[in-house]
Structure 1
Amino acid sequence: MNGMRSAVAPVRTMVLWCPDWPVVATAASEGVSVEQSIAVIEKGLVFACSAAARADGVRRGLRLREAQARSPRLRDFAYDPVRVDRAFEPLISALEEMSPNVQIVRSGSCALAVRGAARFYGGEHAAALAFLERFAELGVTDARVGVADGMFAADQAARLPGVDLIRIVPAGASPEFLRDLPLQLLDEPELTTLLWRLGIRSLGDFARLPADDVRSRFGESGARAHAKAAGLDGRRVEPRIPPEVRESVSDFEPPLDRIDQVAFGVRAAAERFIGELAAAHLVCTALRVEITSERGEWRDRGWLHPRWFTASDVVDRVRWQLQGGSTIESALTSPIARVRIVAETVDRSERHETGLWGSGSEERIHHGLSRVQSIVGHEGVLTASIGGGRSPHERQVLVPWGDRHEQKAAVAPTSRVRGRREEAAPWPGSVPPPLPTTVFEQPHAVLVLAAEQQEVTVTERGELSAEPAYFSPEAAGRRLRPLEAWAGPWPVYERWWDSAARRRFDRFQMIDADGTAWLLALERGTWYAEARYD
Structure 2
Amino acid sequence: MLALWCADWPAVAAAASEDLPPTEPVAVLSGNRVVACTGPARASGVVPGLRRRDAQGRCPRLHVRAADEGRDARVFEPVAAAVDAVVPGVEVLRPGLLVLAARGAARYFGSEEAAAERLVDEVAAVGVECQIGVADELSTAVVAARRGVLVPLGEGARFLAPLPVAELAAEPALAAPDRADLVDLLRRLGLRTVGDFAALTPAAVVSRFGTDAAAAHRSARAQPERPPSARALPPDLTVELRLDPPVDRVDAAAFAGRTLAERLHERLSAASVACTRLEVYASTGHGQSLSRIWRCAEPLTPDGTADRVRWQLDGWLTGRSEARPTAGIEMLRLDPVEVVAAGALQLGLWGGVGAEDERARRALVRVQGLLGGDAVRVGVLSGGRGPGERVTVVPLGDEKVPEADPAAPWPGRLPAPAPSAVLPVPLAVVLEDSSGRPVSVTDRGEFDCLPARLRWGQRTWDLLGCAGPWPVDERWWDPGSARRLIRAQVLLAPAAGEGGTRALLVRSDGSGWCVEGVYE
Q: TM-score, normalised by structure 2?
A: 0.48
Q: TM-score, normalised by structure 1?
A: 0.47
